Amino acid sequence: MSTAQLHVEDHWIAHPRGRLFARAWAPAGGNGAKPPIVLLHDSLGCVELWRDFPAALCEATGRRVVAYDRLGFGRSDAREGPMPLDFVADEARSFFPAVLAQLGIDRFAVLGHSVGGGMAVHCAAEWGARCEALVTMSAQVFVEDRTAQGIRAAGEQFKAPEQMQRLARYHGDKAAWVLAAWVGTWLDPAFAGWSLTATLPRVACAVLALHGDSDEYGSTCHPEMIGRLVSGPARVEVLAETGHMPHRERPGHIAHIVADALASTGTG
- The H-or-E segment that residue 64 falls in is none
Hey, how many other C-beta atoms are within 10 angstroms of the C-beta on 98?
A: 16
Across the range 20-48, mean pLDDT stands at 91
Instruction: Find how far residue 181's CA is from the centre of its chain.
Output: 16
Q: What share of the chain is helix, strand, coil (3-state, %, to 5)?
A: 45, 20, 40
Q: Are strands 20-27 and 37-40 parallel, antiparallel or unpaired?
A: unpaired
| Separation CA 239–CA 6 (nearest Å) | 28
| Separation CA 101–CA 21 (nearest Å) | 14
| Separation CA 190–CA 193 (nearest Å) | 7
Residues in CB range of 13: below 8 A, 6 or more apart: 19, 20, 21, 22, 68, 98, 99, 102, 103
Report the C-alpha dihedral over residues 123, 126, 128, 129, rounded to 10 degrees: -120
| Separation CA 112–CA 43 (nearest Å) | 11
User: What's the pLDDT tens digit per position in 64-123?
Assistant: 999 999 999 999 999 988 999 999 999 999 999 999 999 999 999 999 999 999 999 999
| Separation CA 50–CA 67 (nearest Å) | 8
Angle formed at CA 25 by CA 108 and CA 107, multiple of 5 degrees? 10
Residue 68, helix vs strand vs coil: strand
pLDDT at 33 over 90: no
Kindly state the percentage of the chain with pLDDT values over 90: 93
| Separation CA 266–CA 248 (nearest Å) | 27
The per-residue pLDDT for 268 is 55
Sheet holding 131-137, edge to edge: 6-13, 20-27, 65-68, 37-40, 108-113, 131-137, 206-212, 234-239
- Would you kindly state where each structural domain of the chain is located, as residue ranges? 3-264
Hey, how many other C-beta atoms are within 10 angstroms of the C-beta on 137?
A: 31
The per-residue pLDDT for 3 is 56
Residues in CB range of 139: below 8 A, 6 or more apart: 112, 113, 114, 115, 116, 117, 118, 120, 121, 209, 211, 218, 222, 223, 226
Q: Which numeric CATH code is attached to 3-264?
A: 3.40.50.1820
User: What's the pLDDT tens digit per position in 140-198?
Assistant: 999 999 999 999 999 999 999 999 999 999 999 999 999 999 999 999 999 999 999 99
Instruction: Find how far residue 28's CA is from the centre of its chain.
Output: 25
Judge whether 207 and 232 are in contact, CB under 8 Å: yes
pLDDT at 31 over 60: no
Residue 70, helix vs strand vs coil: coil
Confidence band, pLDDT 50/70/90 cuts, at residue 1: very low
Kindly state the percentage of the chain with pLDDT values over 70: 96
Mean pLDDT of the chain: 95
